[in-house]
Amino acid sequence: MDGSTITKTVNVILLGPPGAGKGTQARMLEEKFGLVQLSTGDLLRAAVASGSEAGKAAKAVMESGGLVSDEIVLAILKDRLGDDDVKSGVILDGFPRTTAQAEALDELLKETGQTIDAAISLEVDDEAMVGRISGRFTCGACGEGYHDDFKPTAVAGVCEKCGGTDMKRRADDNAETVRERLKAYHAQTAPLITYYEQQGSLSKVDAMASIDDVKASLDGLVAGITG
């Protein structure tokens, strides 16, 4: 953290198609503002790795590029929202993804007198997302994300955050599955842009800009709601 730590509960949603930069930016917002990144993709991948019933049900859906059922995702999310570390706010990365999830989130937050402070749509061109995703890799030890061209490691294969050397590529990061994920985004998630616009919490950021420029825009928006 760099001294921008917030003192009130703040809930931010990052919306955007696969490859838009939700995970990359959520991690940086977490560091800067002391908010907690909550990625339903990460929670589901952990459920798959654990071999739980929810994980078994989610695995094939994730590999096909479709959306996991609202029931499974909401159960996993509610469980995580009960943890102490998320009490002062979260950056939701990859959730909500359907109108039913957005409505359930509103209800959940209402129970504790909270709201969504900002829903930020990362605006990108679909065609560029296949390239972004197929070049992505992640440190298996700390989860830091990289890209072959846009965010390479200084020393090949060595994580700049933790020094780990176990770099991972996701099973659903192939061109065919990415196209299915993009279709799912436009059919089921893009309508949430209007949902949050109507609630008055929507902001749009040009996420075709460089990682640093997108970060600067997001820092400004989050500083505006935390200050």
| Catalytic sites, residue numbers | 22, 97, 136, 170, 181
| Smallest gap from residue 123 Cβ to ligand AP5 (A) | 11
Q: Does residue 164 contact residue 140 with C-beta atoms inside 8 Å?
A: yes
Nearer to ligand AP5, 80 or 97 (CB): 97
Question: Residue 89 or residue 96: which is nearer to ligand AP5 going by CB?
Answer: 96
Residue 82 belongs to what H/E stretch? none
Q: Which residues pair with 119 in a beta bridge?
A: 13, 202
Per DSSP, helices labelled H in 164-227 are: 175-184, 191-199, 211-226
Q: Which of 34-57 are b and which e, b meaning 16 or more Cβ less than 10 Å from the residue's Cβ? A: bbbbbbbbbbbbebbeeeeebbeb
Q: Which of residues 205-224 bind ligand AP5 (CB under 6 A)?
A: 207, 210-211, 214
**Total of residues contacting ligand AP5 (CB under 6 A):** 37
- Site map (CB under 6 A) of ligand AP5, residues 125-164, x = contact: -------xx-xx--------xxx--xx-------------
Do 65 and 71 contact (CB within 8 A), yes or no?
A: no
H/E stretch holding 8 reads none
Decide whether 152 or 163 has the Cβ nearer to ligand AP5: 152
- Burial-class residue 14 by CB neighbours within 10 Å (0-12, 13-18, 19+): buried
**Which region, judged by CB under 6 A, interacts with ligand AP5, from 59-67, 157-165, 196-204, 218-226?**
59-67
Comparing C-alpha atoms, which of 104, 110, 113, 116 is closest to residue 196? 116
- Cβ closest to ligand AP5, residue 89 vs residue 215: 215
Of 80 and 147, the one with the shorter C-beta distance to ligand AP5 is: 147
- Exposed / middle / buried, residue 157 (Cβ in 10 Å: 0-12, 13-18, 19+): exposed
CB of 7 to ligand AP5, least distance (A): 28
* Residues between 184 and 203 that touch ligand AP5 (CB under 6 A): none
Give the binding site for ligand AP5 (CB under 6 A): 16, 18-24, 39-41, 44, 61-62, 65-68, 73, 94-95, 97, 101, 132-133, 135-136, 145-147, 150-151, 181, 207, 210-211, 214
